[in-house]
Amino acid sequence: MSKQAEFAVILKMNAMFADLGADELQRLSNLCHTQHLANGEVLFQKGDPGNALFGVRRGQVRIETGASDGSRLTLNFMGPGDLFGEVAVLDGQSRTADATAGEASELFVLRREDFLGFLEREPKVAIKIIALLCQRIRWQSERMEESMLQPLPVRLARRLCALAADFGSEVHISQEQLGVFVGAARESVNRQLQAWRKDAILDLQRGRILLRNMTKLTAIARNE
Amino acid sequence: MSKQAEFAVILKMNAMFADLGADELQRLSNLCHTQHLANGEVLFQKGDPGNALFGVRRGQVRIETGASDGSRLTLNFMGPGDLFGEVAVLDGQSRTADATAGEASELFVLRREDFLGFLEREPKVAIKIIALLCQRIRWQSERMEESMLQPLPVRLARRLCALAADFGSEVHISQEQLGVFVGAARESVNRQLQAWRKDAILDLQRGRILLRNMTKLTAIARNE
DNA sequence: GGGGAAGTGTGTCATAAGTCACATAACTTT
DNA sequence: AAAGTTATGTGACTTATGACACACTTCCCC
């Protein structure tokens, strides 16, 4: 499979491009480049202009943010098939977090200028993108309000389920980082996890959470 | 001033169209219609397809939602110069609330089909709209997270400031509705308002709040 | 003008979650 | 292996806010 075809598949899996026709997708994929990163190499930093969209071909990219106290918090891991920077490539605003290669990686790169040129040539695609952005706005305002009003166990269960979808039942994350994710104190996170351990929903190890009973966890995430 | 020119002014005041050039704005305004509503007439209801954007020329439109218990909660008042339905016109999704004329009104109407046809003919405008939607997405995710994590006084002060911007220092709203706005219990809202009354920041009447000291209120809204 | 209905003011109580403080336990570095 | 560092576990306390209960007022309608 050609590099372009491979990129098209990744785009198609992302909600933002899922609606595009095969022909549109192919013409868009033809604009892509690839870029190699050594382990630990910095892809972009907070504040850099958002001049491209990236897809992971192989390897791993960590999205992290440097807290004011100098410590680093990992916000996300992007693995093969994951796409990031969709919004940045559209509006060119500066990055809000850092991205570093967690291992030697190869990325697909779609540059902002190329993408905008494409949209200008294909206004029908631009309109589809507009519709998708609108959906995202609606979805965000519904979810956010709902989400933040939920009690901590629900928010925590949701986050764990999301992480499980990416990494399987062994989630590699510290309780401190988990706390940042769900907007809660580390101690509160710990207490809730302990309670779930007693209920055999999960097991805890240093820096690791082993999800034992996803059924119960998703039930909690749905708020009963 | 022609109807179209008047509509162009309203569009220009809205963030979503502020970036458009005078020529683009004029061509867009030429697509508008007008519609008259009698007092109490229903413009659209929750679930209707979002097939147009509206601007208030004169009169008043109430955006309200029927709660499950049958009571009606007013979410917003739109007065002359206000624009609503910007997102609906772009993605055609169904309305999430009802709109009713609070008095005899005249509205500018920009139909979805006309607007989409315009965007297709003018891809540069479509790209500007895309950038604006992206900004909105970023703004939303920043604000939402921040906002919900703020303590009630801050959320309340922010909402009051926003209402003041629309209606001046005499805000006509019940404490119950205010509670819905900021996601808090009526009693909590009342207690906070009482405290502010003691500090001479505002005065309370049945169904009314008189803002006496916007300086202090905005200071609270900024979270000191 | 009498009788609701809606809006408001307040007290009491329960609870979720943050904060602080410290004990352990597990990895790293030298 | 010793020492330091990071992650985790847990208790005590505080605080904000929701929930309930009820009194009081104002408005509206018959």
More confident residue, A142 or A19: A19
Please give the pLDDT value at position A163. 82
Test mutation, B120, B121, B137, B159, chain A, max A CBs within 10 A: B137
Contacts for B42 with CB less than 8 Å, ≥ 6 apart: B98, B99, B100, B101
**pLDDT tens column, A166-185:** 778 888 888 988 888 888 89
- Please give the full DSSP string across chain B, using - where no structure is assigned: --HHHHHHHHHHHSTTTTTS-HHHHHHHHTT-EEEEE-TT-EEE-TTSB--EEEEEEES-EEEEEE-TTS-EEEEEEE-TT-EE-HHHHHH-PBPSSEEEESSSEEEEEEEHHHHHHHHHH-HHHHHHHHHHHHHHHHHHHHHHHHHHHS-HHHHHHHHHHHHHHHHTTEE---HHHHHHHHT--HHHHHHHHHHHHHTTSEEEETTEEEE--HHHHHHHHTT-
> Residue B68 has which token pair?
């499950």
Assess whether pLDDT exceeds 90 at residue A78. no
A153 sits within 7 Å of strand C by its CB: yes
Which range scores top for mean pLDDT: A67-81, B69-83, B106-120, B144-158?
B106-120
Please give the pLDDT value at position A224. 66
Please give the pLDDT value at position B68. 46
Between CA A35 and CA A3 the distance in angstroms is 12
Between CA A199 and CA A202 the distance in angstroms is 8
Which range scores top for mean pLDDT: A33-37, A94-98, B149-153, B157-161?
A33-37
What domains, with CATH codes, occur in chain A?
3-146 (2.60.120.10), 152-222 (1.10.10.10)
Closest residue by C-alpha to C1' distance, nucleotide D10: A191
Assess whether pLDDT exceeds 90 at residue A223. no
DSSP state, residue A210: E
Nearest to A75, CA basis, from A162, A148, A202, A196: A162
- Specify the pTM: 0.75
CA atoms within 13 A on the CB side of B41: 13
**pLDDT tens column, B65-107:** 665 444 556 667 788 888 998 888 988 888 878 888 878 899 9
Between CA B190 and CA B51 the distance in angstroms is 39
Least confident of A35-39, A161-165, B2-6: A161-165
Between CA A52 and CA B104 the distance in angstroms is 50
| CB within 8 Å: B130 and A126 | yes
Assess whether pLDDT exceeds 60 at residue A39. yes
Average pLDDT rounded to a whole number, residues A59-67: 76
B72 has which bridge partners?
Answer: B66
Average pLDDT rounded to a whole number, residues B163-184: 84
Contacts for B23 with CB less than 8 Å, ≥ 6 apart: none
Please give the pLDDT value at position B182. 86
DSSP SS3 for A83: strand
Spatial distance from the CA of B72 to the C1' of D29 (Å): 20
| Chain D bases near protein CB atoms (7 A cut-off) | 6-12, 16-21, 26-27
Assess whether pLDDT exceeds 70 at residue A202. yes
Q: How confident is the model at residue A54 (pLDDT cuts 50, 70, 90)?
A: very high
Spatial distance from the CA of A90 to the C1' of D26 (Å): 55
Between CA A33 and CA A219 the distance in angstroms is 43
| Chain C bases near protein CB atoms (7 A cut-off) | 6-12, 16-21, 26-27
A202 sits within 7 Å of strand D by its CB: no
DSSP SS3 for A169: coil
**pLDDT tens column, A85-124:** 888 898 888 887 888 888 889 999 999 999 999 999 999 9
Please give the pLDDT value at position A68. 47
Spatial distance from the CA of A76 to the C1' of D23 (Å): 54
Please give the pLDDT value at position A119. 93
